[in-house]
Amino acid sequence: MGLCLEGSEDDLVRRKQELFSLYKRAAEADPKDPTTLADYGRYVYIRMNNHDQAEPLLMAALKLDATCEVALYHLGILVHRYEFVSSLLRY
């Protein structure tokens, strides 16, 4: 699901929301497909910058398939960034 994200700011927001809706529909259509859930979680995290919503999606993908590479990779990035920011905030 790759749409070109070029154009005005309004176009970008509209396209991001459109892609979000497509990923959501795909996950609802096949909630037992770990790759779909992982791709949805990846999009929510990377493009929508929403780790709170992405984490449960990535975890759900891993519950279905503990070897799902997309989920493992992006959950690892999410956790690493969270821990890095948390360590900075402690100082």
State the DSSP H helix or E strand holding residue 45, giving kind and residue range, or none if neither: helix 34-46
Which stretches does DSSP call E strand in 1-91? none
Per-residue pLDDT of the chain (91 residues; tens, 9 = 90+): 444 556 688 888 899 899 999 999 999 999 999 999 999 999 999 998 998 999 999 999 999 999 999 999 999 999 888 776 666 676 6
Provide the domain count of the chain: 1
Q: Are 8 and 14 in contact (CB under 8 A)?
A: no
Question: In this structure, which amino acid lies at residue 8?
Answer: S
Look up the pTM and report it. 0.77
Residue 66 lies in a domain: yes
CB 65 within 8 A of CB 41: no
CATH number at residue 66: 1.25.40
Domain that holds residue 13: 9-89
